[in-house]
Structure 1
């Protein structure tokens, strides 16, 4: 297989070798238990994240896992699958939102371990009424050999499944945020953009900035580094956020 020249490589130290080996950056991050969701969620990206989580949890069931998200939405079924699996991991899942996390991106970001969910100072969340997108309507090319009468697209089931997932997503926001149902339901009636401070106040994430979460704390960090991260943690908006942003 020919290596992709567009993927950067970084040095990776192998205990049995004197010189570091240059590997693709994704491999090095994976070995550090760091995952990224940086695109709208489809079946392929969801499958990759789920398989990575399974492997890392099996490799070390007690160690933390980091999930960085910059996801503007995508398949609702795929997003719920990732969210559900995150709840069953035995180690803590630290989620860090950068850029814009909308729809399923916001849902996955808020699904990390409570107390370990962060958003960067310039990050945004967008929540709304979930709906089946084009990522949920990908055509199946293969037929079910066990049931030749099976049809992937069933309007009746699709309508039921949509109602069910809408209610499930709303309930999970309420349960994990501590915000009352009426407030969450009202916010989700339309596209609602949330600045970092509002996201924290609603309980969708726990802090602004990554102090204490990322990078992993080191004993030799000086006071200057501490003050920088502390500023992000205490970040507040001076003026109300314009929801039309």
Structure 2
């Protein structure tokens, strides 16, 4: 889902009918790239689901790229995106490549791990955070609080099952890890099974920025 309109960049395209402006997110959608760069609510979920379904309809065999930098949000909205991702992957040979840049937290992390196996990535300075669902704490009558508590426990159990399924971690380990905020670097997310690869980027050495050169990361030098 795109950021607020006030900061949406536009690109100019030259067509046989002349030049035209297009917001960057629509332009990227033409390249089968979807961004989730905000908290996840119903508006974001509806937009992402619509884009996923559109791209599946246009070409059910061509990969979709989903870039994630999100603190998470509504569990129900997140599950709508998650279920759609699973649906279109099962209905066709279409693969969904997920990439974390910045941070994938809460349901953002769930969507990251829900990409096609072998196609889940993170940039090297990314952060991944998993935790249990939290109650909005609306209060009310005791019976209402009890009903809400049962629903939170149901969602927690379901999310634990999802995370265990996509990471290969034992269910009891996942349940323990999400009891509090569980922070991971990109490398730790790789070890945990949330992603399949950390994207390798050149490391800028001291002085190289002014010299205009970069060197590959070499663990033998420090």
TM-score range, shorter chain: 0.7 to 0.9
Deviations 1:11-42 (A, max 9, x none): 3355xx27554322111111111111111111
Query: Structure 2 CA distance, aligned partners of 1:5 and 1:88?
Result: 34
- 5+ unaligned residues in a row in structure 1: which ranges? 138-153, 212-227, 237-245
Query: Structure 2 CA distance, aligned partners of 1:105 and 1:5?
Result: 24
More strand by share: 2
- 5+ unaligned residues in a row in structure 2: which ranges? 139-143, 202-214
Query: Structure 1 CA distance, aligned partners of 2:6 and 2:186?
Result: 36
Q: Which residue of 2 aligns with 1:10?
A: 11
Query: Structure 2 CA distance, aligned partners of 1:129 and 1:51?
Result: 28
CA RMSD for the aligned pairs? 2.6
**1:176 CA displacement:** 1.3
8 A contact 1:75–1:133 mirrored in 2 = no
Find out whether 1:192 has 2:182 as its counterpart. yes
Number of matched pairs = 194
More helix by share: 2
TM-score w.r.t. the length of structure 1 is 0.71
User: Residues 45 and 132 of structure 1: is their aligned pair in 2 closer, same or farther, counting only changes over 3 Å?
Assistant: farther
8 A contact 2:72–2:106 mirrored in 1 = yes
Q: Which residue of 2 aligns with 1:62?
A: 61
TM-score w.r.t. the length of structure 2 is 0.78
Query: Structure 2 CA distance, aligned partners of 1:158 and 1:53?
Result: 31
Return structure 1 stretches of 4+ with deviation > 6 angstroms.
Answer: none
**1:156 CA displacement:** 5.4
